[in-house]
Amino acid sequence: MTKRRRNPHRPGLDDVRYKASRARLKIIGNHVCHWCRYPIDMQLRYPHPLSWSCDHKVPRSQLHPDDPRMWHIDNALEAHLRCNQARGAKPLPVQPTHLNTDIDW
């Protein structure tokens, strides 16, 4: 009855530390998609394509399930579900933390 079910297709997503980071990001985030820069409507729910999702700077597919980046909030970014899914397992082209401050026009 109390046995935890693990989904082998979603490694790391069942981890309580990931769930905690995800919940924290949902609270402290600015709710802007880091891919398209449009706001995320927090009223929309999964699986709506424009619903909020937690993206990973370093894709989960490239991480071991025990790697701290699987759940650490420093590896988490807000994204629309469709933007997140369109990105797939591709690495980020640039470090997203520099996107808003280091643009040299």
Which residues are at the interface with Zn ion (CB under 5 A)?
Answer: 33, 35-36, 80, 83
Backbone angles phi, psi at 79, to 5 degrees: -155, 155
User: In this complex, which beta carbon is closest to Zn ion, that of residue 20 or of residue 42?
Assistant: 42
In the complex, least distance from residue 78 CB atom to Zn ion, rounded to whole angstroms: 9
State the alpha helices, DSSP H only, in 29-100: 81-87
User: In this complex, which beta carbon is closest to Zn ion, that of residue 41 or of residue 74?
Assistant: 41
User: In this complex, which beta carbon is closest to Zn ion, that of residue 56 or of residue 80?
Assistant: 80
CA distance 70 to 54: 11
Best CA proximity match to 26, nearest among 8, 46, 12, 49 = 46
User: In this complex, which beta carbon is closest to Zn ion, that of residue 18 or of residue 35?
Assistant: 35
In the complex, least distance from residue 6 CB atom to Zn ion, rounded to whole angstroms: 29
Residue nearest to Zn ion (CB): 33
In the complex, least distance from residue 92 CB atom to Zn ion, rounded to whole angstroms: 14
Sign (positive/negative) of CA torsion 22, 26, 78, 52?
Answer: positive
